[in-house]
Structure formats: structure tokens, C-alpha cells
Amino acid sequence: MDPLLIGGLVVSALTAAGIAIARYRKVKVPRDGRWKKPPVVAIGPDVSMTAVRKATDWWAELGHRFGPITRSPAHDSIVILVDPARLDALRPPVVRGAEVYGEGHGLTRTHREGEFLVSAEILLQNGDDALVIAHELGHAIGFHHPRFCPTGHMMHPSAGSWDDHRGLEA
């Protein structure tokens, strides 16, 4: 056999193995708190119901439950608002007594009492980006960005996708 061909085969086998390991290795996603009961998701007038539903459905497949999605303000809920001005004002995170996660198109603040999340607020740049909403919902149910987060993971701070949910099961 041609040594160059053998070399090529070895390289492609190693590359494939590398991709397989990266794809199936465990991703540890730190989590702070959980909701005592499925949180109501109260959304502002500029937030797309369809996008929010797509995002909550994605989490529901992993076993995370949400209460109704409503346009009425609700206590003990996850509130989602389009508010670019406040989003900018709150960045960088300076708020005490709350976890704040800020990225380009969204920001989430959560409040905990002991181990339980009691409220969360998500501010968005625009209200119909389901992927951004899904990522911020992840924060709203307690997930942080994983360390050494693989590109394409839902909780990647800037390059997430729907395709990678490792470590996010309920």
C-alpha cells in the first residue's frame, strides 16, 4: 500500500476519533438553584409567543417543566421583556444579590432564596430570536456557562445552537 495513503487513512481515523470524543465527552454545566414548581413565563408585548414556545419546548424535552406562558405580569415567574436600553444599562453586571448573565442579545437576572429560584428577569435585544430566548431560559432555571464550553452548546456564551444539550438534562 502506498505509504501516503496509509498516512492519510491514519490521519482521517484520528480526526474522526477526535470529533467523536469531542462530541460524546461529558459537559459539566454548573447549576445554582431550581424552581420549586414549574415557573410561569410572563412575556412582554414585543416578545414572540412562538419563539418562547419553541424555547420552552426544547427544555421540556430535557425534562424541565414550565407553567403557562402568559402576557399578564405574574409573581414568582420568569419575566421576559424586550428592553435594549435597560439591557445596555445593566451591562456589565453590577447588581448585588443576584446572578447576572449578560451576552450580546440578552441578559438574565435570577433571584434565589436558599436553594430555590424565586424570580428571574430576561431582557432581550429583540423578541423573536428563539435561540437567544432558549439560552437565557437556561440561566433562568439556574444553569451557568460551562467552563471550556464546546462551540455549539446551548449554554455557550456566544456561539450556541439547538444541537448540543449535554449536561442540561433535568
Least Å distance, CB 87 to Zn ion, is 13
Q: Rank residues 74 and 91 by Cβ distance to Zn ion and give the closer one.
A: 91
DSSP string, the chain: --HHHHHHHHHHHHHHHHHHHHHHS-----B--EESSPPEEEE-TTS-HHHHHHHHHHHHHTT-----EESS--SSEEEEEE-HHHHHHTPSP--TTSEEEE-SSEEEEEEEETTEEEEEEEEESSTT-HHHHHHHHHHHTTB-PPTTPPTEETT-SSSEEEEE-TT---
**What's the min distance (Å) between Cβ of 156 and Zn ion?**
8
| CA atoms of 129 and 106, how far apart (whole Å) | 10
Choose between 74 and 126: whose C-beta lies nearer to Zn ion. 126
Closest distance to Zn ion from the beta carbon of 101 (Å)? 4
Which residue is at the shortest CB distance from Zn ion? 101
Identify which of residues 43 and 134 has a Cβ nearer to Zn ion in the complex.
134
Instruction: Give the shortest CB-152-to-Zn ion separation in angstroms.
Output: 14
Q: Which CB sits closer to Zn ion, 8 or 93?
A: 93
Query: Residues in the site for Zn ion, rule: CB under 5 A?
Result: 101, 103, 157
